[in-house]
Amino acid sequence: MLLARVVLRRKVAVPSVKVVILTYGKASLQHSRRIAEAFPASQVDLYGSTEAGYIFVGEALKDDSRVIDSNAFVELEPYRNLGDTFQIYVTTRDRQAKPLLRYRTGDIVRKLTTGYRLLGRERDLCFRPDGSVVSPSEIDAVLPKDFACWHYSLVQTAENRWDFHFVAEYVAANDVAGSLAQMLGDGVRVNAFRRRMIAPAASGKFSLLKPLAV
């Protein structure tokens, strides 16, 4: 993201880039769009974990991810009675050192007719009063079409209060917070804050969604 931002600011053309791989964490639609502005190339979502390696691959944010069978065997276990949503267990293939047997990665996926949608880590998801899941996909879906940012993080600060931190060139319109509040449920209040930067966790990863710890 930092490289894409510099390329756009300096108006540099990089025609030699053919494919951009989104990996090391869940990317948002905002990430994808900003990267595409700097590097107009195909985008691939390569998803996995440090312990298991790469597990899913597909076209970025197209809900067509598939299991990388050469690396791992993936079992699906129903998640919170949500029907099309599952947690995964991974058994690695042909690994001599530290093989994994039915390893629970903590990743949650939604099975669709086109493939899998990667919702993210279980700890980074939240749930509406009716039990439906809120993931970065739901956030992306309700952000206004004219909203553009480099990065965001939706952080829960109380039962019915959330803060939406975003890095952008302009202040967000009022309908951004309103759209997010409506998506999260009745009685929820969202405050939007434009930031110069959003610091990663100690691991170096960024969380797009931070619910209260249970």
- Tell me what pLDDT residue 15 has: 85
pTM of the model: 0.88
pLDDT at 2: 81
Report the CATH superfamily, name and number, of domain 2-123: ANL, N-terminal domain (3.40.50.12780)
Q: Which of 87, 126, 134 is nearest to 213 (CA)?
A: 126
Query: For 54-73, what is the mean pLDDT?
Result: 95
Examine the pLDDT at 164 and tell me if it is beyond 60.
yes
Which of 209, 187, 205 lies closest to 126, judged by CA?
209
pLDDT over 80 at 189, yes or no: yes
- The pLDDT score that the predictor gives to residue 95 is 86
Mean pLDDT confidence for 1-19: 89
**Fold exhibited by the domain 125-210:** GMP Synthetase; Chain A, domain 3 (3.30.300)
Does an H or E element contain 214, and which?
none
- Contact between residue 45 and residue 60 where contact means Cβ atoms under 8 Å apart: yes
The highest-confidence range among 21-30, 95-104, 169-178, by mean pLDDT, is 95-104
Quick count: other Cβ atoms within 10 Å of Cβ 99?
11
Rounded Cα distance between 114 and 122, Å, is 22
- Strand 133-134 and strand 126-127: the pairing is antiparallel
How many Cβ atoms sit within 10 Å of the Cβ of residue 126?
Answer: 18
Pick the residue with more confidence: 201 or 95? 95
Q: State residue 26's pLDDT score.
A: 79
Between 62 and 204, where is the model more confident?
Answer: 62
* DSSP for 15-74, written as a single string: TT--EEEE-SSPPPHHHHHHHHHHS-SEEEEEEEETTTEEEEEEETTSS-BEE-TTTEEE
Q: 3-state class of 142 per DSSP?
A: helix
Boundaries of every domain in the chain:
2-123, 125-210
Mean pLDDT of 190-214: 84
Tokens representing 166 are 């975003």
